[in-house]
Structure 1
Amino acid sequence: MSIRTPQTPSRGTAAGSPGRWNRLVGSIVEAALSPHPVDRYLELLDPMLTWRDLRGEIVRAEQPTPRTVRLTIGPTRQWRGHRAGQFVQLSVVIDGVRHTRCFSPANAATGPDGDIELTITANDDGLVSKHLVAHARPGDVVGLSQADGDFVLPETDPTSAVFISGGSGVTPVLSMFRTLVARGYAGPITFVHYARTASEVAYRDELLALASAHPNVDLRVHHTRDDRDGHFTAAHLDDVPGVVDADVFVCGPRALMDAVAEVHGALGISQPLHSEAFTLTPTTAVDPDSVEGELTFSRSGTTATNDGRPILDQAEAAGLTPESGCRMGICFSCTAVKKSGCTRNVLTGETDTESDTQIQLCINAPVGSVDIEL
């Protein structure tokens, strides 16, 4: 459901373009309803009735495997569509606290009128993923962001496409795969997927159907617990047509991505490796005996002894609930001002001693005592 704004003035009037007119009307309405944004009032009537917020209603919820849920989401009118491989931020309220995580649509690239298909695996330490697998139902309304990310297909079709995924990393590369198939791509496609067992391949039936229907598709599924050679090796790319000039796309656990990167270099593949990780991996392990200092969360008046973990983890352990999203440095949901002290980026190893600067809490750990405006 959407709101109709007054008819846009004709060209040349003082209000100017339709976009400017809509912004003007929105500002006037929000000022009249201050102190709360318009959407806080509209959601009392219907959570899908929004002025600015992008939301989505779950129209279908299926469980293709015991640990996954597949959601088809109908977004509100603000949705601009997605490119294959991008991610969205999905927000849900759990026990009164709003939590945000990043998930990649698995459906082919769509425009503003398309639905969003998300397949989510319940990770052992995943609060949001476990909640969605257990509780997501048709009719539920979730918060959404516009699609983002640069793990996407190139502007021109590749000579040969190789998609490699592990576990829940299948969704962005499946979106790319589906997009190429939908537009009649005739080049060779090799799809290599890794799951712990056959029962945990979330898109098994569809992958088999696509491979059967399209002669240019070579499907290779490996089970890391059941197969003797289940983990990626160079042999898994044997006989890939045009592999030297192929565009290789990989998404999955860090061990898989590192192994693919090593083989990619050894084979001398001419195109750059396209990759996206969905887990955060520190560059170096922290020795607990070398950690010192104290974390001060100045706004809340809370302190905690530094244990070496990223600041977001330590803030949550101290009872705080800062906004967060992907938890791996992508979405910038968990930024806060560092008032003083030194922090280390756990992805790059770089340290930063600048005061009064915005940092990402999920990928920065304190080095000694640090004061954060939380």
Structure 2
Amino acid sequence: MTALVPRRARRLASLAEALLTPHGMDRYLELVDPMLVRREIRGLVTGVRRQTPDTVTLTVRPSRAWRGHLAGQYVRVTVEIDGVRRTRCYSPAGSEHDGTLELTIKADPQGLVSRHLNRTVTLGSVLGLSTADGEFTLPSPRPRRILLLSGGSGITPVLSMLRTLAAEKYEGDLVFLHYSNGAEDALYRTELADLARRLPGLRVVHAFTHAKTGGDLHGFFSKEHLAEAAPWYPDAETFLCGPKPLMDSVREVFEADGIGAHLHTEEFAPPALTFDTENAEGQVRFARSGREVANSGKPLLEQAEEAGLSPEHGCRMGICFSCTQIKTSGCVRNAKTGETSSEENEEIQLCISVPVGDVEINA
């Protein structure tokens, strides 16, 4: 008899969903308590702390639709700002074995969402969440030697890896090398020291790029830093996330040493792409809004925003797929690969799709 109860509950839920069409049950549950929604994922902020003046660390309890994350993955976080839903990607800093989410966000002076999360979100705030995504993850079985390398707020995905390895009582060689301006900007410094005491094979190395004292290493990344922190790095799997200059420098060393295949990276910022704005031709029509603009040669996301539209988006670099829309007609060029596509009614990513002539988007 008891086995029938969940089945009946599911049937009743399905019936209610049908009766409440087109809005569905979630839209009504959200009016009562946003955390009750069934199909979408919400996160309740249960902790707010500041490690530095320009960062905030949020502890978030996900709703029941959450299915967890793998260390190194990212989630799309959605907030409403001035009546418009805005989405950005952030990497959880917690262990994949922990049921909560920890997000550490640095306020970008030009970043609408990061500033909002730093200044406005408080205990009890509810965030929109996506399922976890991304391929920047630890392999299984775990490698015998691991180097985790990060800079600034790029620490979060590799810290997630470190916390995961600590929870698993990892017994291999492990180095955590983190770059920051100085002690006042070094995120998670106290916890990293505690992890180093608890995990026998772990060595934590702090490199200060601007401060002359207080760090284990000083100055910007170099091969000498690498050799001093982890002399066995050629035989290790290295996981890297940080600002572009750091990532470029590390890639250069690994490629020169012929071990590029052992370097795994998560992009910290959109790649620098160039666009031919002088020779752009054609019109771009946003069908749903009825707006039409002259093609500027920029990605469709930028053209939509310049036309006064606010399409959903996240990473702005072709990773998260938040900005995916239907192109009903015309040709676009992928700004990352250079490939063009003229298929009708195809899904494209607005942030990396550049119109080639006339294009119509269902936006």
Match of 1:293 among 264, 282, 297: 282
2:180 matched residue in structure 1: 195
Match of 1:320 among 309, 316, 319: 309
Letter in 2 for 1:158: P
Assess if the C-alpha contact under 8 Å between 1:61 and 1:70 holds in 2.
Answer: yes
1:14 matched residue in structure 2: none
- Any gaps of 5 or more consecutive residues in structure 2? none
Letter in 2 for 1:105: P
2:299 matched residue in structure 1: 310
Against the structure 1 CA distance between its residues 184 and 21, is the aligned structure 2 distance closer, same or farther, given a 3 Å change threshold? same
Secondary structure in structure 2 of the residue aligned to 1:264 = helix
2:122 is aligned with 1:122: no
2:339 matched residue in structure 1: 350
My pick for the range that moved more, 333-342 or 207-216, is: 207-216
- Distance, in Å, in 1 between the alignment partners of 2:182 and 2:300 is 36
- Report the alpha carbon displacement of residue 200 of structure 1 after superposing the two structures with TM: 2.0
- Report the alpha carbon displacement of residue 201 of structure 1 after superposing the two structures with TM: 2.0
Secondary structure in structure 1 of the residue aligned to 2:278 = helix
Against the structure 1 CA distance between its residues 235 and 48, is the aligned structure 2 distance closer, same or farther, given a 3 Å change threshold? same
- Report the alpha carbon displacement of residue 241 of structure 1 after superposing the two structures with TM: 4.4
2:207 is aligned with 1:217: no
- Report the alpha carbon displacement of residue 351 of structure 1 after superposing the two structures with TM: 2.3
CA deviations over 1:234-293 (Å, ceiling 9, x no partner): 1221141432220100112233222222212222338532111132214x4224333333
- Distance, in Å, in 2 between the alignment partners of 1:247 and 1:21 is 50
- Distance, in Å, in 1 between the alignment partners of 2:221 and 2:10 is 52
Letter in 1 for 2:4: P
Matches within 5 A, 1:124-273: 124-226=109-211, 230-239=219-228, 240-269=230-259, 272-273=262-263
The aligned length equals 358
Secondary structure in structure 2 of the residue aligned to 1:194 = strand
TM-score computed with the length of structure 2 as normaliser:
0.91
- Report the alpha carbon displacement of residue 359 of structure 1 after superposing the two structures with TM: 0.4
- Distance, in Å, in 2 between the alignment partners of 1:27 and 1:335 is 28
Assess if the C-alpha contact under 8 Å between 1:70 and 1:119 holds in 2.
Answer: yes
2:40 is aligned with 1:56: no
- Superposition CA RMSD, Å: 2.3
Matches within 5 A, 1:277-288: 277-282=267-272, 284-288=273-277
TM-score computed with the length of structure 1 as normaliser:
0.88
Assess if the C-alpha contact under 8 Å between 1:89 and 1:325 holds in 2.
Answer: yes
- Distance, in Å, in 2 between the alignment partners of 1:362 and 1:118 is 24
CA deviations over 1:132-178 (Å, ceiling 9, x no partner): 00111000111112222221111112111101112221101000011
Against the structure 1 CA distance between its residues 247 and 21, is the aligned structure 2 distance closer, same or farther, given a 3 Å change threshold? farther
Assess if the C-alpha contact under 8 Å between 2:210 and 2:218 holds in 1.
Answer: no
1:3 matched residue in structure 2: none
1:9 matched residue in structure 2: 4
My pick for the range that moved more, 33-42 or 271-280, is: 271-280
- Any gaps of 5 or more consecutive residues in structure 1? 1-5, 11-17
- Distance, in Å, in 2 between the alignment partners of 1:288 and 1:137 is 42
Secondary structure in structure 2 of the residue aligned to 1:125 = coil
Letter in 2 for 1:330: I
Secondary structure in structure 2 of the residue aligned to 1:238 = helix
- Distance, in Å, in 2 between the alignment partners of 1:7 and 1:263 is 62
- Distance, in Å, in 1 between the alignment partners of 2:356 and 2:220 is 37
